Structure formats: C-alpha cells, structure tokens
Amino acid sequence: MSHPHPDLSAPAPLPAGGLRVIPLGGLGEVGRNMTVFEYDGRLLIVDCGVLFPEDHHPGVDLILPDFHPIRDRLDAVEALVLTHGHEDHIGATPYLLRERGDIPLVGSKLTLALLGSKLREHRLKETAQYEVAEGQTITFGPFVLEFVAVNHSIPDALAVVIRTGAGVVLHTGDFKMDQLPLDGRITDLNEFARLGDEGVDLFLTDSTNAEVPGFTTSEKDIAPVLDRVFAKSDQRIIVACFASHVHRVQQVLDAAVAHGRKVGYVGRSMVRNMAIAQDLGYLTVPPGVMVEAKELADLPPHKQVLISTGSQGEPMAALSRMSQNNHHFVQLQPGDTVVLASSLIPGNENAVYRVINGLARLGANVVHKGNSLVHVSGHASAGELLYCYNIVKPRNVMPVHGEIRHMLANAELARATGVENVVLAEDGVVVDLVDGVAKIVGKVDVGYVFVDGTTIGDISEASMKDRRILGEEGFLSVIVVVDSVTGKVVSGPEIHARGFAEDETTFDEVKQPIIDAINASIAEGATDSYQLQQTVRRVVGRWVNRAHRRRPMIIPVVIEA
Ligand SMILES: [Zn+2]
Ligand SMILES: [Zn+2]
C-alpha cells in the first residue's frame, strides 16, 4: 500500500490532556472503516467495517481492518460506536467481538438491528447495546458522545460528537445533504452550526465524493426514471440494488404499485434486511404488493418485479447467477428488463460489466447508471462539503473515508474555506490533538487482514502474491532424483506444468541444461538438496523467461536416493 509518510516511526506517548486518533482502516480505501480515539488511557472506536476484495486479491472473501495496534489494549475500549448499518462500517464487528466479546455497542435503532442479525449469523452472543438517536448524549469513561442526524444511502445514519478534555471532535460518518429525502430526515445543519459556534476542534469528514463538483442529486429524482422504465416494459422487471438501500427499495415498491405489479425479493440479505426495515417502520410496504419470489412466476410477466442482490457483480449473488442462466428459480427471458439501481464501487467494474454483458446476451434490456439516472450517490459532493466547512468553521480537519485522491480533494476544499490546519493521514498514521492543534505524530503498523474461508489473517501479502503469480503465470514443477553417493542424476528431470504450455515436449530442451547444472553444482561442492533446488530454479527460471517470456511459479524438488 502506498504511503505518504514513509519516514514516520512509532509515536511518542500521548501527552496528558491530548486526544489521539488512530485510523486502522478506511483512510486510503473505500471500505473497512475503523478509527480509534484515545484519551487518558481509554479507547473509543468509531465503526468497524469490511473491505470487499478486488481482482488482485484472488480467493479472498473479505478484508478486515488491522486490530493489531490495539490488540493488547482491548480491555481499555469503552465502546464501539457504529455510525450506520453499511458493511464498510459494521461488517468487521463480529471479528472484533471474537477478540473481546463484551465491548459495548452504540448505534441507532436500524444500525443495531442490522448488526444484530449479523452477530446471530456469526453465532455471537449479543453484548451490551446502547440504542441512540439524534440529539441524545451518552458518556463512556472520559468520552462524552452526542449524536447528530445525517442523511445517507441508508436510513438512521448518525454523525458523532466526541467531547473530551482535549476538545470537541465531530465525525460526520458517511453523509450527504439531500434536502428532500424520502423520510424527511435531513442532515442537521442547525446542529452543525451550533457546534460550530461552540467550537469544533477536529472535524473528520467523508471524502468519498470530494472530487465530484456541485451537489449530489436527490434520491427522489430517480422516481420519474423508474416510472418511465416501468411504463415501457411489458415483461418482467428485475431491479438490483444494495440490500441495505431501504429508500431505493421503497421507490421500486412504489413504482410497482403504481404500475399494478407484484414484488418479490431475491437474495438472502435482501430478504433479511427488508424484513428488519419493514418491522422497524423504515420501509412502508403497501398491502398486497409482496409475493414470495418463487410464487411470483405464477403471475404473467408484466405483473412481476423482482428486487435482487448482486448489483456489484458479486459472483455468488442472485443477479450474477441470473446473468449466467443458472439461478435456481429465475430464468431470464428475452425482453425482460434488468435495472442496476446501484453505484459502481471502484474495483468492481470488471465484475459488473461481466454481469451486464451476460444479461444482455440473454436478451434483457439492461438499465444502469451508465445509461439512465437510476442511481444517486450516498455521499456529499464538493459543494456540500464546502457548506459544511463554512458552517462548522473547524480549527482542524482530517479527511476520512476515501482513496488518497478523494482525501486530497477533500483537504483542498477545507483549505479553500479557510481551514488552516488540515491533516492528511492514511491508515496507521497517528494524529494527536493537543492544545487545540492536530498534528501527525507517528505511525503504527497496519496491513490488510484477509478472511479466507475459515481463516482470518493467516493469508499474508506474500501468499497473495503467490496466488497472483499462479493466476497470471501458471505453475511448473521439476522433479529430479540424484544418487547421494555418486552425485549423478538417476531419474528425471520430470517437468509438470499447470496453466502453462499444454505440450509436455516444450520442456525437452531444458532437461539437459538442468542435468548439466546439477552436475556442475555437485562438482563445485554443493551437498544438500536445498542448494540443488536453487540451481534447478535458476536454470528453469532463466530458460522460461527467455524462451517463453513468462515467470511462472517454479517448484523444484530434488530427491536424494
Ligand atoms: Zn455508508
Ligand atoms: Zn462507508
């Protein structure tokens, strides 16, 4: 991972009365958000999310923040505050709770409900949970917390104010400033202004859309587009979106009702989350509109709407299976309409376009953000961020939640409004707020923690590199048997390849050079099989690079008989 602060060493102890900020994830990537605040020897964590792997993380299921810097201080954690229910903010919580099971969890009603179902899936006991709402104050050790309503692409999101002896911190969480949201719950700029008047010492702000000029389009602007799509379609409609995007699902339900269609959910997380959202009153389901997805097929196609998971091209999700014509009960028909009412998260492009191509090949009309306004972002654009800086008038700003380019753009916006001190930190870079000034004071070692099947953190960057080599270059094994007394090659070399040339005779030309090299090594006094294996690796590596322009993984095995 690139790092703008390569020269930093471990930070000195935190001065008395200072607040330390340790980002463990989310600064330098969109995902696995986790920030630790330290005051007077006590810790407060904001968010604990996952990052979804990209093409260059073959075989990886999830990527976690690195808990290592706080692992032996988990007893000092007062609470984990969850700003909202997105996976990049709550998804790693079960893994943290495996290390200390009784960390108090703090979040809004919907956030805790979504988290609860996740903890049950991981078979974790529900720990002490503190449900909070905007306007509420709650104290954990030296941290006095207050919550502020923010608008985002999931209901019930909160910004958090953290008051300590070091000053006032305002963390926006993920937010935007949609002025006409479906639920009427806007980002509370009154409260931002009041905090600004009181004095915000450190303002941590969502960088995701800092490069996007202007203002993020309102969620409501999607409604007329959906209406046109529904009006034009005379067959089945399938809409894919995030399984937590309650308001997007609401708009699809409303369009379905307006056009006399019935709706079924496809995908486990969609079924589960929408049941929670409906139970808690965040989703209004008009009577009679929902049908079990499997029974929907009994209706004529022009009466059917499916709301599905898989909008990011996830290979195991419903939409991807439909695009390959192997979903267990949804078979696409030519003329069906598929709407991807979703963002395109960086890194998922290939997977998403693979799905779109698969759907198009089956004859579906595919509507996506590239050809229609069927998605709006959940994050504040540059104009909204400028507003916030002018209202909050913070002393120090720390951009969070983004790749480095997003955080740099966000830093520029803060400076443009006159903020004098902007600290640009990536994962592991430690920031202290002392006497009202935030400064980078060092860094702690953090890396990617890969979840792979049942293992957590056992797969290293080195094995990830091996996987990439195997995936891109293939594999060669060379087996040679050497007589331990005479030092002569008595059998082999036997060369086997995978993901390389199919024709085994390809390797004939390198067999004699291998034997010659082994003989030469032994003549020079090489005795153990490790040295001989290195010899074989060198000869084969040079040959394959010269003759085939390839760098496969080479596994030499020299057996002494
Ligand atoms: Zn979010
Ligand atoms: Zn997020």
Q: Is the pLDDT of residue 3 over 60?
A: no
88 is in an annotated binding site: yes
116-140 in b/e form (b: 16+ CB < 10 A) is eebbeeeebeeeebeebebeeebeb
Which residue has better confidence, 206 or 495?
206
What is the pLDDT averaged over residues 115-137?
Answer: 91
Please tell me the pTM assigned to this model: 0.87
Confidence of residue 121 (pLDDT cuts 50, 70, 90): confident
Ligand lying closest to the C-alpha of residue 378: 1
CA of 11 to the centre of ligand 1 (A): 30
Ligand lying closest to the C-alpha of residue 401: 2
Of the candidates 206, 336, 427, 432, the residue annotated as catalytic is: 206
Give the pLDDT score at 159: 98
What is the pLDDT averaged over residues 503-512?
Answer: 78
Can you name the residues that pair with 37 across neighbouring β-strands? 21, 44
Q: Is the pLDDT of residue 313 over 90?
A: no
What is the pLDDT averaged over residues 238-248?
Answer: 95
**How far, in Å, CA of 309 to CA of 175, rounded?**
23
CA of 529 to the centre of ligand 1 (A): 54
Confidence of residue 207 (pLDDT cuts 50, 70, 90): very high
CA of 65 to the centre of ligand 2 (A): 14
Of the candidates 156, 379, 406, 427, the residue annotated as catalytic is: 379
Can you name the residues that pair with 305 across neighbouring β-strands? 237, 263
- In the annotation, is 188 catalytic? no
Give the pLDDT score at 1: 35
What is the pLDDT averaged over residues 413-431?
Answer: 97
- In the annotation, is 379 catalytic? yes
401 is in an annotated binding site: yes
Which range among 137-146, 301-310, 526-535 shows the weakest confidence by mean pLDDT?
A: 526-535
In this prediction, what percent of the chain has a pLDDT beyond 70? Answer: 98
Give the pLDDT score at 6: 65
Note whether 221 and 377 are within 8 A (CB). no
**CA dihedral in degrees (537, 459, 314, 213; nearest 10)?**
-100
548 is in an annotated binding site: no
**CA dihedral in degrees (21, 25, 31, 37; nearest 10)?**
-30
Ligand lying closest to the C-alpha of residue 86: 1
- Name the amino acid, one letter, at 220: K
Strand locations in 47-201, DSSP E? 62-64, 77-81, 105-107, 129-131, 137-140, 143-150, 157-164, 167-171
At 449, list the tokens. Answer: 């923690």
Looking at every residue in the chain, the average pLDDT score rounds to 91
What is the pLDDT averaged over residues 235-241?
Answer: 95
What is the pLDDT averaged over residues 321-334?
Answer: 92
196 is in an annotated binding site: no
**How far, in Å, CA of 505 to CA of 82, rounded?**
60
Ligand lying closest to the C-alpha of residue 27: 2
259 is in an annotated binding site: no
CA of 241 to the centre of ligand 1 (A): 14
CA of 240 to the centre of ligand 1 (A): 18
**How far, in Å, CA of 94 to CA of 291, rounded?**
33
- Over the stretch 338-394, which tens digit does the pLDDT of each residue have? 999 998 877 788 889 999 999 999 999 999 998 999 999 999 999 999 999 999 999
Strand locations in 209-331, DSSP E? 237-240, 262-266, 304-308
How many residues are present in the chain?
561
**How far, in Å, CA of 491 to CA of 488, rounded?**
9
CA of 88 to the centre of ligand 1 (A): 7
**How far, in Å, CA of 380 to CA of 152, rounded?**
9
503 is in an annotated binding site: no
Domains in the chain with CATH codes: 19-214+378-456 (3.60.15.10), 219-367 (3.40.50.10710), 474-560 (3.10.20.580)
Which residue has better confidence, 279 or 484?
279
Q: Is the peptide bond before 346 cis (omega within 30 degrees of 0)?
A: no
